[in-house]
Amino acid sequence: MRLRLLLLALGTFAVGTDSMVTAGILGLVAHDLDISVPAAGQMVTVFALSYAVLAPVLATAAARWPRRRVLLTALTVFTLANALSALAPNYPVLLATRVLAAAGAALYTPTANAVATSLVPPERRGRALATVLGGMTVATALGVPLGTYLGRTDWRLTMWLVVALGAAAFLGLALLLRGLPAPTAAPDLRTRLAPLRNRRVLEAAATTLVFFLAINVVYIYLGAAVSSATGGDPGRLSLIMLVSGVASVAGNWLGGRAVDRLGTRAVLLSGGGAAAAAFLALPWLSGTMPGALLYAAVSPLAAWAVAVALPHRLASIDPPNAPLLISLNSSALYLGIAAAGGVGSLALTVLGARWLPLASTALTLAVVALSAVTTRRSAEGSDEGDDPRAATLKGTSADGATAPQNGAAPQGSDAAVQGAGRR
């Protein structure tokens, strides 16, 4: 079981490296293709927006496919698209390949998360999601620095690294990932999209969007925010980024266990509060390297714990439609990333580099407030899906497959996942 989850995580590692490493090679792309750096930066925007739009659409289109076929098809598209990116002769072709790569990623990641929840009993779903999502966090700690290093003279080498990672994930899953639970009979499109009319689903997706907007406003412009500490030294900035990546991995691990033990509401509120405090302190911490490193250790630790709770919350609202809901979470995540570039640029202009983190502070506090109101209302309300017994009565697991009748009730609501009895 653990091997299967690690193989799924290898795929998210490839996706995470592809989506985040681009920022480190923009200058080389611009020089090679004779475009401006802002134009090269549209690689990130095009990928993020394409992912956001395509994730729920592809989840619906592939609903009747066996999960293994979906995963392998997604990795095939993703890997071939990155090979085309590495070979792109000009800027328009490069942007087209980023759309194709986003399509593969948008099909893979939500499916991998949904499959992960179907491989474990309900009480271990948070840890299963953390393992698969861990591929994304390890990408920040290992894949991005490695890709940036390889592409320091030729950005195309970075893309070939992503191709190699995608191919490795494909081979591992093709050889070792068999016997997955079959999806239940897929409903028609209208029925499948019905959860999008659920207020709780939209509230949860909005929480994801604003949260990833908040953390990426600082992450994208971290070099500017900690410039007083680094003095423009790339080595010092790399050290801060390395600490941030390691803390992300630790936060992902901690978040999975905290969700299983405490429930999503506790993680959203405590993790969000800690992240807001870290952003608030950064203008003062950024004056010295020890302060900047302290921020890099605390902020990602809290943020990635919250990142595990967010898809868990959505999947728990309506377990039979978990693949669609997790794909919606992915869409909201990438919309937040896409918006963060513009919002961060505006905040940088208005507030300046030192006070830029205050924008993230305000946005994160908004997330905490939204989470506090909506999860409490879900726990006390009578909306369909609030009863944690609902999924058991329907006999379904988190990916829509028939659940084993072992007496363990799947988590039926974000507020009652495991923690309802603790409040």
| Predicted pLDDT at 379 | 56
Minimal CA–CA distance to 292: which of 345, 237, 340? 237
Give 343's pLDDT tier (boundaries 50, 70, 90): confident
Query: Is residue 181 within 8 Å of 345, Cβ to Cβ?
Result: no
Residue type, 18: D
Q: Which residues contact 288 (CB under 8 A, 6 or more apart)?
A: 228, 229
Residue that has been written with the tokens 């993230």 in this structure: 360
Residue 411 gets the label, from left (phi > 0), alpha (psi -120 to 50) or beta, of: beta
- Specify the length of the chain in residues: 423
Whether pLDDT at 400 is above 70:
no
Q: Give me the mean pLDDT over the 38-50 stretch.
A: 82
Minimal CA–CA distance to 165: which of 232, 104, 252? 104
Q: Residue 373, SS3?
A: helix
> Quick one: tokens of 259?
């969700």
| Predicted pLDDT at 49 | 87
Q: Residue 187, SS3?
A: coil
Q: Tell me how many degrees the CA angle 309-316-337 measures, rounded to the nearest 5.
A: 45
> b/e map of 23-50 (b: 16 or more CB within 10 Å)?
bbbbebbbebbebeeeebbbbbbbbbbb
Q: Residue 224, SS3?
A: helix
Q: Tell me how many degrees the CA angle 299-303-305 measures, rounded to the nearest 5.
A: 125
Give pTM, 2 decimals: 0.70
- Choose the most confident range, by mean pLDDT, from 164-168, 258-262, 314-318, 395-399: 164-168
Give 390's pLDDT tier (boundaries 50, 70, 90): very low
Whether pLDDT at 412 is above 50:
no
Give 409's pLDDT tier (boundaries 50, 70, 90): very low
| pLDDT tens, position by position, 308-330 | 899 888 878 877 777 677 777 87
Q: Give me the mean pLDDT over the 11-33 stretch.
A: 83
- Choose the most confident range, by mean pLDDT, from 10-19, 156-165, 185-194, 343-352: 156-165
Query: Is residue 372 within 8 Å of 269, Cβ to Cβ?
Result: yes
The DSSP secondary-structure symbol of 141 reads I
Residue type, 141: A
Query: Is residue 247 within 8 Å of 299, Cβ to Cβ?
Result: yes
| Predicted pLDDT at 191 | 62
